[in-house]
Structure 1
Amino acid sequence: MQYPALYILRHGQTEWNAQHRIQGSLDSPLTELGRAQARMQHETLRSCDLTGYRAFCSPQGRAFHTASIALEGQCARVDTDPRLVEIGVGEWEGLCRNELGTGLAGEMSEESALHLYDRAPGGEGFLALRNRCAAFLSDLSGPAVLVTHGVTSRMLRLIILNMGTHEIADLPGGQGIVFHLSGGLQTKL
Protein backbone atom coordinates (compact mmCIF):
# COMPACT_ATOMS: atom_id res chain seq x y z
CA MET A 1 0.00 0.00 0.00
CA GLN A 2 1.20 3.52 -0.77
CA TYR A 3 1.04 6.01 2.11
CA PRO A 4 1.19 9.80 2.01
CA ALA A 5 4.34 11.61 3.09
CA LEU A 6 4.65 11.69 6.86
CA TYR A 7 6.77 13.27 9.57
CA ILE A 8 6.73 11.08 12.68
CA LEU A 9 7.85 12.40 16.06
CA ARG A 10 8.15 10.73 19.44
CA HIS A 11 7.34 12.76 22.53
CA GLY A 12 10.19 14.31 24.50
CA GLN A 13 11.72 12.75 27.60
CA THR A 14 9.36 12.45 30.56
CA GLU A 15 10.08 12.09 34.26
CA TRP A 16 9.27 8.38 33.99
CA ASN A 17 11.53 7.94 30.94
CA ALA A 18 14.37 9.35 33.04
CA GLN A 19 13.54 6.79 35.75
CA HIS A 20 13.33 3.86 33.25
CA ARG A 21 9.68 3.50 34.27
CA ILE A 22 7.17 2.03 31.80
CA GLN A 23 4.29 4.39 31.05
CA GLY A 24 2.02 2.61 28.59
CA SER A 25 -1.37 4.26 29.07
CA LEU A 26 -0.17 6.14 32.16
CA ASP A 27 1.51 9.50 31.88
CA SER A 28 4.17 11.70 33.41
CA PRO A 29 5.24 15.25 32.57
CA LEU A 30 8.01 16.23 30.21
CA THR A 31 11.35 16.99 31.83
CA GLU A 32 13.32 20.12 30.93
CA LEU A 33 15.28 17.90 28.53
CA GLY A 34 11.97 16.69 27.03
CA ARG A 35 10.84 20.26 26.41
CA ALA A 36 14.24 21.02 24.84
CA GLN A 37 13.85 17.96 22.58
CA ALA A 38 10.43 19.22 21.46
CA ARG A 39 12.00 22.60 20.68
CA MET A 40 14.65 20.80 18.59
CA GLN A 41 11.84 19.06 16.68
CA HIS A 42 10.24 22.47 16.17
CA GLU A 43 13.46 23.81 14.67
CA THR A 44 13.78 20.75 12.43
CA LEU A 45 10.21 21.10 11.16
CA ARG A 46 10.67 24.84 10.51
CA SER A 47 12.90 23.89 7.58
CA CYS A 48 10.20 21.61 6.12
CA ASP A 49 7.36 22.75 3.92
CA LEU A 50 4.25 21.63 5.80
CA THR A 51 1.81 23.22 3.36
CA GLY A 52 -1.15 20.85 3.03
CA TYR A 53 -0.08 18.70 6.00
CA ARG A 54 -2.48 17.82 8.78
CA ALA A 55 -1.22 17.19 12.31
CA PHE A 56 -2.30 14.26 14.47
CA CYS A 57 -1.25 13.46 18.00
CA SER A 58 -1.77 10.85 20.66
CA PRO A 59 -4.16 12.23 23.29
CA GLN A 60 -1.72 11.25 26.06
CA GLY A 61 -0.34 14.30 27.84
CA ARG A 62 3.35 13.75 27.05
CA ALA A 63 2.67 13.56 23.31
CA PHE A 64 0.20 16.44 23.33
CA HIS A 65 2.65 18.67 25.24
CA THR A 66 5.39 17.77 22.77
CA ALA A 67 3.08 18.54 19.83
CA SER A 68 2.17 21.94 21.30
CA ILE A 69 5.87 22.87 21.34
CA ALA A 70 7.08 21.13 18.18
CA LEU A 71 4.21 22.30 15.97
CA GLU A 72 3.67 25.80 17.39
CA GLY A 73 2.91 28.17 14.52
CA GLN A 74 3.43 25.43 11.93
CA CYS A 75 0.06 23.71 11.74
CA ALA A 76 -3.34 25.34 12.03
CA ARG A 77 -4.50 22.70 14.49
CA VAL A 78 -3.51 19.37 15.98
CA ASP A 79 -6.14 16.63 16.07
CA THR A 80 -5.84 13.86 18.63
CA ASP A 81 -6.46 10.24 17.70
CA PRO A 82 -6.59 7.43 20.26
CA ARG A 83 -5.02 5.03 17.76
CA LEU A 84 -1.74 6.89 18.29
CA VAL A 85 -1.48 6.10 22.03
CA GLU A 86 1.44 4.04 23.32
CA ILE A 87 1.24 0.25 23.38
CA GLY A 88 -0.69 -1.01 26.39
CA VAL A 89 1.58 -2.91 28.78
CA GLY A 90 -1.01 -4.21 31.25
CA GLU A 91 0.45 -5.19 34.61
CA TRP A 92 3.79 -3.58 33.80
CA GLU A 93 2.46 0.01 33.70
CA GLY A 94 4.27 2.14 36.26
CA LEU A 95 7.03 -0.39 36.90
CA CYS A 96 10.71 0.25 36.32
CA ARG A 97 12.17 -2.03 33.67
CA ASN A 98 14.39 -3.74 36.24
CA GLU A 99 11.24 -4.69 38.22
CA LEU A 100 9.63 -6.72 35.43
CA GLY A 101 10.69 -10.08 36.83
CA THR A 102 11.90 -11.26 33.44
CA GLY A 103 15.21 -12.52 34.78
CA LEU A 104 17.01 -10.48 32.15
CA ALA A 105 19.67 -8.46 33.90
CA GLY A 106 20.54 -5.06 32.53
CA GLU A 107 17.26 -4.53 30.66
CA MET A 108 17.16 -0.88 31.67
CA SER A 109 16.69 0.99 28.41
CA GLU A 110 13.71 0.94 26.12
CA GLU A 111 16.03 -0.02 23.28
CA SER A 112 17.35 -3.15 25.01
CA ALA A 113 13.93 -4.16 26.33
CA LEU A 114 11.89 -3.50 23.19
CA HIS A 115 11.03 -7.17 22.59
CA LEU A 116 9.51 -7.36 26.10
CA TYR A 117 6.64 -5.04 25.20
CA ASP A 118 5.02 -7.87 23.24
CA ARG A 119 5.03 -10.13 26.32
CA ALA A 120 3.56 -7.79 28.95
CA PRO A 121 0.97 -9.64 31.08
CA GLY A 122 -2.45 -8.22 30.22
CA GLY A 123 -0.83 -5.97 27.61
CA GLU A 124 -1.91 -5.12 24.10
CA GLY A 125 0.82 -7.01 22.23
CA PHE A 126 2.42 -6.22 18.89
CA LEU A 127 -0.29 -7.79 16.70
CA ALA A 128 -3.05 -5.61 18.19
CA LEU A 129 -0.79 -2.55 18.04
CA ARG A 130 0.00 -3.26 14.38
CA ASN A 131 -3.71 -3.58 13.55
CA ARG A 132 -4.48 -0.30 15.36
CA CYS A 133 -1.66 1.53 13.56
CA ALA A 134 -2.63 0.07 10.17
CA ALA A 135 -6.22 1.25 10.68
CA PHE A 136 -4.99 4.77 11.44
CA LEU A 137 -2.70 4.85 8.40
CA SER A 138 -5.41 3.55 6.08
CA ASP A 139 -7.64 6.48 7.12
CA LEU A 140 -5.08 9.14 6.16
CA SER A 141 -6.15 11.13 3.13
CA GLY A 142 -3.01 13.22 2.72
CA PRO A 143 0.37 14.14 4.15
CA ALA A 144 0.58 14.48 7.93
CA VAL A 145 2.73 15.12 10.95
CA LEU A 146 2.25 12.48 13.66
CA VAL A 147 3.29 12.95 17.29
CA THR A 148 3.23 9.68 19.17
CA HIS A 149 5.29 7.33 21.35
CA GLY A 150 8.37 5.11 21.13
CA VAL A 151 6.86 1.71 20.36
CA THR A 152 3.89 3.11 18.45
CA SER A 153 6.22 5.22 16.29
CA ARG A 154 8.23 2.15 15.38
CA MET A 155 5.10 0.17 14.50
CA LEU A 156 3.80 2.95 12.24
CA ARG A 157 7.14 3.07 10.48
CA LEU A 158 7.31 -0.75 10.16
CA ILE A 159 3.99 -0.72 8.35
CA ILE A 160 4.94 2.13 6.03
CA LEU A 161 8.30 0.49 5.23
CA ASN A 162 6.59 -2.88 4.61
CA MET A 163 8.64 -4.61 7.31
CA GLY A 164 7.63 -7.49 9.55
CA THR A 165 6.75 -6.96 13.20
CA HIS A 166 9.73 -9.11 14.19
CA GLU A 167 11.95 -6.35 12.74
CA ILE A 168 10.77 -3.70 15.22
CA ALA A 169 14.14 -3.53 16.97
CA ASP A 170 15.84 -2.84 13.63
CA LEU A 171 14.30 0.63 13.45
CA PRO A 172 15.94 3.53 15.26
CA GLY A 173 14.05 5.31 17.99
CA GLY A 174 14.90 8.32 20.06
CA GLN A 175 13.45 11.46 21.48
CA GLY A 176 13.92 14.86 19.88
CA ILE A 177 14.12 13.24 16.44
CA VAL A 178 11.93 13.70 13.37
CA PHE A 179 11.55 10.85 10.88
CA HIS A 180 10.38 11.66 7.36
CA LEU A 181 8.71 8.83 5.46
CA SER A 182 7.94 9.19 1.78
CA GLY A 183 7.84 6.79 -1.16
CA GLY A 184 8.57 3.81 1.09
CA LEU A 185 11.79 5.34 2.44
CA GLN A 186 12.66 6.68 5.88
CA THR A 187 14.97 9.61 6.58
CA LYS A 188 16.08 10.67 10.04
CA LEU A 189 16.13 14.49 10.08
Structure 2
Amino acid sequence: MKRIAILGTEASGKSTLAAALARHYGTVWVPEYLREFVDTEGRVPVETDQIHIARSQLKREADAARRAQRFLFCDTTPLMTAVYSIHYFGGIDAQLAVLAGTHAQDYDLTLVAAPDMPWEPDGLMRDNDEVRQTINRILLDELAARGIPYVPAGGSVEQRVATAADALSRL
Protein backbone atom coordinates (compact mmCIF):
# COMPACT_ATOMS: atom_id res chain seq x y z
CA MET A 1 0.00 0.00 0.00
CA LYS A 2 1.31 3.42 -0.98
CA ARG A 3 0.74 6.50 1.20
CA ILE A 4 -0.04 9.69 -0.64
CA ALA A 5 0.29 13.03 1.15
CA ILE A 6 -2.00 15.78 -0.07
CA LEU A 7 -0.75 19.09 1.23
CA GLY A 8 -1.87 22.65 0.67
CA THR A 9 -3.38 25.68 2.26
CA GLU A 10 -6.90 25.94 3.54
CA ALA A 11 -9.46 26.23 0.74
CA SER A 12 -7.07 24.69 -1.78
CA GLY A 13 -9.20 21.61 -2.47
CA LYS A 14 -7.23 19.00 -0.49
CA SER A 15 -10.29 17.24 0.87
CA THR A 16 -12.07 17.31 -2.46
CA LEU A 17 -9.02 15.85 -4.19
CA ALA A 18 -8.48 13.17 -1.52
CA ALA A 19 -12.12 12.06 -1.71
CA ALA A 20 -12.08 12.03 -5.53
CA LEU A 21 -8.88 9.97 -5.63
CA ALA A 22 -10.22 7.51 -3.05
CA ARG A 23 -13.37 7.04 -5.15
CA HIS A 24 -11.31 6.69 -8.34
CA TYR A 25 -9.06 4.01 -6.84
CA GLY A 26 -11.67 2.29 -4.65
CA THR A 27 -9.88 2.96 -1.39
CA VAL A 28 -10.12 5.18 1.68
CA TRP A 29 -8.80 8.61 2.54
CA VAL A 30 -7.91 10.30 5.80
CA PRO A 31 -9.78 13.56 6.42
CA GLU A 32 -7.96 16.50 7.96
CA TYR A 33 -8.30 16.30 11.75
CA LEU A 34 -7.89 20.07 12.11
CA ARG A 35 -11.36 20.63 10.63
CA GLU A 36 -12.91 18.32 13.23
CA PHE A 37 -10.89 19.97 16.00
CA VAL A 38 -12.19 23.42 15.08
CA ASP A 39 -15.77 22.18 14.78
CA THR A 40 -15.64 20.24 18.06
CA GLU A 41 -13.78 22.86 20.10
CA GLY A 42 -15.54 25.84 18.52
CA ARG A 43 -12.24 27.69 18.20
CA VAL A 44 -9.05 27.83 16.23
CA PRO A 45 -6.11 25.98 17.75
CA VAL A 46 -3.51 27.63 19.91
CA GLU A 47 0.18 26.77 19.87
CA THR A 48 -0.13 24.07 22.54
CA ASP A 49 -2.80 22.29 20.44
CA GLN A 50 -0.47 21.73 17.50
CA ILE A 51 1.18 18.53 18.72
CA HIS A 52 -2.21 17.02 19.60
CA ILE A 53 -3.51 17.85 16.12
CA ALA A 54 -0.48 16.29 14.42
CA ARG A 55 -0.60 13.15 16.59
CA SER A 56 -4.34 12.77 16.02
CA GLN A 57 -3.80 13.07 12.26
CA LEU A 58 -1.18 10.30 12.36
CA LYS A 59 -3.39 8.06 14.49
CA ARG A 60 -6.23 8.41 12.01
CA GLU A 61 -3.83 7.69 9.20
CA ALA A 62 -2.68 4.47 10.93
CA ASP A 63 -6.30 3.42 11.50
CA ALA A 64 -7.22 4.06 7.86
CA ALA A 65 -4.16 2.20 6.59
CA ARG A 66 -5.70 -1.05 7.82
CA ARG A 67 -8.64 -0.50 5.43
CA ALA A 68 -6.76 0.94 2.46
CA GLN A 69 -6.50 -0.83 -0.87
CA ARG A 70 -3.37 -0.05 -2.92
CA PHE A 71 -3.32 3.65 -1.97
CA LEU A 72 -4.05 5.67 1.16
CA PHE A 73 -4.80 9.32 0.47
CA CYS A 74 -3.89 11.55 3.42
CA ASP A 75 -5.53 14.96 3.54
CA THR A 76 -2.59 16.66 5.24
CA THR A 77 0.31 15.45 7.38
CA PRO A 78 2.21 16.74 10.43
CA LEU A 79 4.33 18.79 8.04
CA MET A 80 1.31 20.96 7.25
CA THR A 81 0.72 21.46 10.99
CA ALA A 82 4.35 22.56 11.25
CA VAL A 83 3.87 25.01 8.36
CA TYR A 84 0.89 26.60 10.10
CA SER A 85 2.90 26.78 13.33
CA ILE A 86 5.64 28.68 11.54
CA HIS A 87 3.12 31.19 10.25
CA TYR A 88 0.89 31.63 13.29
CA PHE A 89 3.31 31.03 16.17
CA GLY A 90 6.66 32.00 14.71
CA GLY A 91 8.16 28.52 14.77
CA ILE A 92 7.68 24.83 15.39
CA ASP A 93 7.66 23.49 18.94
CA ALA A 94 10.28 20.81 19.63
CA GLN A 95 7.84 17.86 19.80
CA LEU A 96 6.10 18.86 16.57
CA ALA A 97 9.46 19.40 14.85
CA VAL A 98 10.48 15.84 15.72
CA LEU A 99 7.12 14.41 14.64
CA ALA A 100 7.05 16.33 11.34
CA GLY A 101 10.67 15.42 10.63
CA THR A 102 10.28 11.77 11.55
CA HIS A 103 7.22 11.27 9.36
CA ALA A 104 8.08 13.59 6.46
CA GLN A 105 9.49 10.71 4.41
CA ASP A 106 6.64 8.26 5.17
CA TYR A 107 4.82 9.13 1.94
CA ASP A 108 5.40 7.59 -1.44
CA LEU A 109 4.13 10.70 -3.22
CA THR A 110 3.38 14.25 -2.13
CA LEU A 111 0.76 16.22 -4.00
CA VAL A 112 0.45 19.95 -3.37
CA ALA A 113 -3.00 21.36 -4.04
CA ALA A 114 -2.57 24.72 -5.70
CA PRO A 115 -4.29 27.67 -4.05
CA ASP A 116 -5.96 28.51 -7.36
CA MET A 117 -9.56 27.84 -6.36
CA PRO A 118 -11.66 30.87 -5.45
CA TRP A 119 -11.16 31.76 -1.81
CA GLU A 120 -14.34 31.81 0.25
CA PRO A 121 -14.69 32.62 3.97
CA ASP A 122 -15.84 29.62 5.99
CA GLY A 123 -16.31 30.33 9.67
CA LEU A 124 -13.31 29.86 11.94
CA MET A 125 -11.08 28.12 9.41
CA ARG A 126 -10.70 30.80 6.75
CA ASP A 127 -8.36 33.78 7.01
CA ASN A 128 -8.12 35.35 3.58
CA ASP A 129 -6.46 34.80 0.23
CA GLU A 130 -3.34 36.76 1.21
CA VAL A 131 -2.71 34.40 4.14
CA ARG A 132 -3.41 31.44 1.87
CA GLN A 133 -0.69 32.61 -0.54
CA THR A 134 1.76 33.16 2.35
CA ILE A 135 1.10 29.65 3.71
CA ASN A 136 1.66 28.21 0.25
CA ARG A 137 5.08 29.91 0.04
CA ILE A 138 6.05 28.59 3.48
CA LEU A 139 4.94 25.08 2.47
CA LEU A 140 6.97 25.10 -0.73
CA ASP A 141 10.00 26.42 1.18
CA GLU A 142 9.66 23.65 3.78
CA LEU A 143 9.36 20.96 1.11
CA ALA A 144 12.50 22.29 -0.59
CA ALA A 145 14.42 22.55 2.70
CA ARG A 146 13.50 18.97 3.57
CA GLY A 147 14.28 17.64 0.08
CA ILE A 148 10.74 16.36 -0.42
CA PRO A 149 9.77 16.17 -4.09
CA TYR A 150 6.17 17.02 -4.88
CA VAL A 151 3.71 17.19 -7.73
CA PRO A 152 1.66 20.38 -7.99
CA ALA A 153 -2.03 19.72 -8.60
CA GLY A 154 -4.06 22.66 -9.83
CA GLY A 155 -7.04 23.50 -11.96
CA SER A 156 -10.39 21.74 -11.84
CA VAL A 157 -11.00 18.61 -9.77
CA GLU A 158 -10.80 16.57 -12.95
CA GLN A 159 -7.44 18.14 -13.86
CA ARG A 160 -6.13 17.50 -10.36
CA VAL A 161 -7.23 13.85 -10.44
CA ALA A 162 -5.59 13.42 -13.87
CA THR A 163 -2.35 14.98 -12.61
CA ALA A 164 -2.38 12.71 -9.56
CA ALA A 165 -3.26 9.61 -11.62
CA ASP A 166 -0.32 10.30 -13.93
CA ALA A 167 2.05 10.62 -10.95
CA LEU A 168 0.59 7.51 -9.29
CA SER A 169 1.08 5.47 -12.45
CA ARG A 170 4.83 6.00 -12.07
CA LEU A 171 5.05 4.65 -8.50
Same fold (TM over 0.5): no
TM-score between the two structures when normalised by the length of structure 1: 0.31
Larger-Rg structure: 1
